[in-house]
């Protein structure tokens, strides 16, 4: 831990933390000593953005005030320093839809509080102190680096999984989000119960997914091979989705989203569900193709919302501001 003199502490901190897609687990079996292993992508412009200042207590304004206050209280307790924090949440990633809202809010608050009080805490430590990244390292990787990410799964410790690969996502590609505002993905105690109740994932299936990730998925991203990426991500999505079906009701959480994902995959496009959903995604080769495809889906399924994004190849933006000094006269 590095601590700086109080006269060097910033007067305020602004943080913009990217949303993310969690595209699936690689090894839910765990016989080799590590479990889960994830792939995912940082998104732009989906983000959580906040402004923070030191205060005598915790003061919160903007979106999700209760959740923000709970995280701030816990982070200040972990810092072990007297004082509070004034937080204004300018925009927040929607909760419980599969875009990483909880982790990115926690990391943004943690980064802001750490810097306001002259401490230099790395993101994995903040995640650990705030109980984030228990199964996946994609949120931490998205915050620190952005890009297309693969982590090494949870080992014997309770630290977030290590990031093993970070590749730039092809800049021309676009991600079309399929948003079902009438559904929510599993979270909290229901999510924990689901992991306890699901049957053991076959070791042979885990081995196949790890092979697909190494020999097909990552090379497709590196070479901007959309067809190869589509084949690899659908193999991952179908095997993991079918395993989670007893907990989420089907391969994909939202029946409306599921129908469109099946159609996209049949057309050779990368498609799937992020985390527990209900948000789905389809990857298109460029902006024009994404706009045409969005128009087609809007006409076919007007009950859903659609948003065009791109991969974000940089991590969170953390800006420190010093107090302005009046010029002497």
Q: State residue 119's pLDDT score.
A: 92
Could you tell me if 37 and 134 lie in one domain? yes
State whether 201 and 300 are in the same domain. yes
One domain, residues 125 and 74:
yes
pLDDT in tens, 180-208: 999 887 777 888 887 888 899 999 999 99
279 & 209 share domain: yes
Sign (positive/negative) of CA torsion 245, 46, 189, 64? negative
The total number of structural domains that make up the chain = 2
Indicate whether 247 and 218 sit together in one domain: yes
Domain at 7, CATH number:
3.30.230.10
CA dihedral 203, 205, 209, 215 (to 10 degrees): 90
* Residue 4: per-residue pLDDT: 55
Regions of the chain with pLDDT less than 50? 1, 325-329
Residues 162 and 124 in one domain: yes
CA 297/CA 20 separation, integer angstroms: 22
Is there a single domain that holds both residue 12 and residue 154?
A: yes
pLDDT at residue 326, as a whole number: 38
- Domain region containing 317: 1-168+313-329
Please indicate, yes or no, whether residues 107 and 161 belong to a single structural domain of this protein: yes
Q: pLDDT tens digits, residue range 38-48?
A: 999 999 999 99
- Strand-pairing partners, residue 20, are 42
* 308 bridge partner residues: 176
Q: How far apart are CA 134 and CA 144, in angstroms?
A: 17
What does the pLDDT read at residue 187? Answer: 77
Q: What pLDDT sits at residue 184?
A: 85
- How far is 140 from 104, CA to CA, in rounded Å? 8
In this structure, what CATH number is given to the domain that contains residue 235?
3.30.70.890
Contact by Cβ (8 Å): 121, 155: no
Residue 323 pLDDT? 67
Same domain, 113 and 239: no
Neighbours of 78 (CB within 10 A): 17
Q: Do 194 and 244 fall into the same domain?
A: yes
The reply to whether 126 and 177 lie within a common domain is no
Q: Are residues 150 and 270 in the same domain?
A: no
* DSSP single-letter state for residue 213: I
């Amino acid at each position: 831990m590095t601590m700086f003199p109080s006269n060097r502490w910033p007067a305020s901190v602004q943080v913009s933390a990217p949303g993310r897609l969690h595209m699936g687990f690689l090894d839910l079996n765990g016989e080799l000593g590590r479990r889960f292993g994830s792939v995912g992508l940082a998104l732009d412009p989906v983000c959580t953005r906040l402004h923070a200042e030191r205060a005598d207590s915790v003061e919160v304004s903007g979106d999700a005030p209760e959740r923000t206050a709970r995280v701030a209280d816990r982070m200040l307790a972990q810092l072990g320093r007297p004082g509070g924090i004034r937080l204004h949440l300018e925009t927040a990633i929607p909760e419980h839809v599969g875009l990483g809202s909880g982790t990115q809010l926690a990391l943004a608050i943690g980064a802001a509080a750490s810097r306001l009080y002259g401490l230099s805490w790395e993101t994995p430590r903040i995640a650990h102190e705030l109980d984030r990244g228990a199964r996946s390292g994609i949120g931490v990787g998205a915050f620190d680096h952005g890009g297309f990410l693969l982590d090494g799964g949870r080992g014997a410790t309770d630290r977030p999984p290590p990031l093993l690969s970070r590749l730039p996502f092809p800049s021309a590609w676009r991600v079309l989000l399929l948003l079902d505002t009438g559904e929510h993905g599993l979270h909290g105690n229901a999510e924990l119960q689901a992991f306890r109740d699901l049957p053991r994932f076959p070791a042979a299936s885990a081995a196949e997914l790890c092979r697909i990730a190494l020999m097909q998925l990552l090379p497709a991203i590196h070479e901007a091979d959309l067809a190869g990426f589509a084949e690899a991500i659908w193999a991952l999505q179908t095997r993991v989705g079918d395993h989670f079906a007893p907990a989420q009701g089907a391969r994909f959480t939202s029946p409306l989203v599921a129908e469109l994902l099946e159609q996209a995959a049949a057309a050779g496009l990368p498609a799937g569900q992020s985390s527990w959903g209900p948000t789905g995604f389809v990857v298109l080769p460029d902006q024009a193709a994404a706009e045409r495809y969005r128009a087609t889906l809007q006409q076919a399924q007007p009950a859903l919302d659609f948003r065009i994004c791109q991969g974000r190849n940089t991590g969170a933006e953390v800006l420190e501001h010093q107090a302005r000094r009046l010029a002497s006269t």
